[in-house]
Amino acid sequence: MRVSTIGVLAFALAGLAACGGGAASPSPSAQGAAPVVKQYALSAAQGGPDSIAVGADGALWFAAFDGNAIGRITTTGTLTTFVLPTPSAGPGSIAAGPDGALWFTELDTGRIGRITTAGAISEYPLADPSSQPLAIVAGPDGALWFTEQSTESIGRITTGGTITEFALSDKNANPGAIAVGPDNALWFCQQGDGKIGRITTAGVISAYVTPTASSVPSSIAAGRDGALWFTEYYGGKIGRITTGGAISEYPLPGAYSGPSGITVGPDGAMWFLEEHQIGRITAGLLAEYPVSQVSTGSFNGIVTGPDGALWYTDRFANSIGRVAPGAVR
């Protein structure tokens, strides 16, 4: 599932009313000067950036869906492109592996890819070429875990290429983003039925319904508070789920906020992408900062870089963005 909208440049900074789980209501945050934002334009060969990850070489690596390539950008902005050997593979998500390589999904050809920091690419086909592997993450067990949209499954691949798949009981789950929780389980967004799923490394699966109907949870990340935080694209909210399954939701101001990618920032807060904005949230504070482009969607990625800044993909502007919060400049 690819969610993408184009909205009007906006800046909102307003109080929130929390719902679900009895969480405190975030209020506007006095952040002082807004973060410094810089965007690096991509070529057509690097087009359609989706997910982004930090490599073992200290550079940022991203999946270029439209360019059918894996891109690399240094913290000073130098770009390199590695074209995939399989045509129209549809690279959608990328993650650093435990072996020092980057691992990625090939949405349109049903493969899991691997690329070394020197640019050597390997591909591993799944049993069903139409399985649509979407998101991938390095698990706590030394393997990579990924979601499969059309087969409604969670997959696992070792660094040696051995693949195992676990079918979900929910047949409208449409699993998307996946992250490692503080409990060493894998937590994932079920975009189709508005649930947050959980799978242990032994393959035991459970799911928790978000309070907002048709919320389309689209991205998830572990916070420093021992919980997981997620975005609700159609719900226009940021959610928080404990490892026990208790969910709190924080509505965002604006009718079309469309939150997508989320990550823990260098300051310990959760940072996320919105329609033309970068947001920051803790259990008590919210701030939103305007960015000239930024279109959101279920693929848009954001990650804390080795330079202490936040790096994100911007499909709308076909660029990679850098956000320097606080004292980071």
27-324 CATH, one of 2.130.10.10, 3.40.50.2020, 3.40.640.10, 3.10.100.10: 2.130.10.10
Task: Judge whether residue 26 has pLDDT over 50.
Answer: no
Q: How far apart are CA 134 and CA 147, in angstroms?
A: 6
Q: Higher model confidence: residue 37 or residue 3?
A: 37
Question: In whole numbers, what is the pLDDT of the chain averaged over residues?
Answer: 87
What is the C-alpha radius of gyration for the chain, rounded to an integer number of angstroms?
18
**End-to-end Cα separation, the chain, in angstroms:** 35
What one-letter code names the amino acid at 114? R
pLDDT at 294: 58
What is the average pLDDT across 172-197?
Answer: 97
44-80 per-position pLDDT tens digit: 999 999 999 999 999 999 999 999 999 999 999 999 9
pLDDT at 328: 52
pTM of the model: 0.89
What is the residue whose two structure tokens read 């549809």?
90
Weakest-pLDDT range from 26-40, 63-77, 166-180: 26-40
- Measured from the Cβ of residue 159, the count of other Cβ atoms closer than 10 Å reads 16
**Bridge pairing between strands 285-290 and 27-28:** parallel
Q: How far apart are CA 108 and CA 132, in angstroms?
A: 6
What is the average pLDDT across 189-201?
Answer: 97
Grouping H, G, I as helix, E, B as strand and the rest as coil, residue 46 is helix
pLDDT at 300: 79
What is the average pLDDT across 287-313?
Answer: 80
| Confidence class for position 317, pLDDT limits 50, 70, 90 | confident
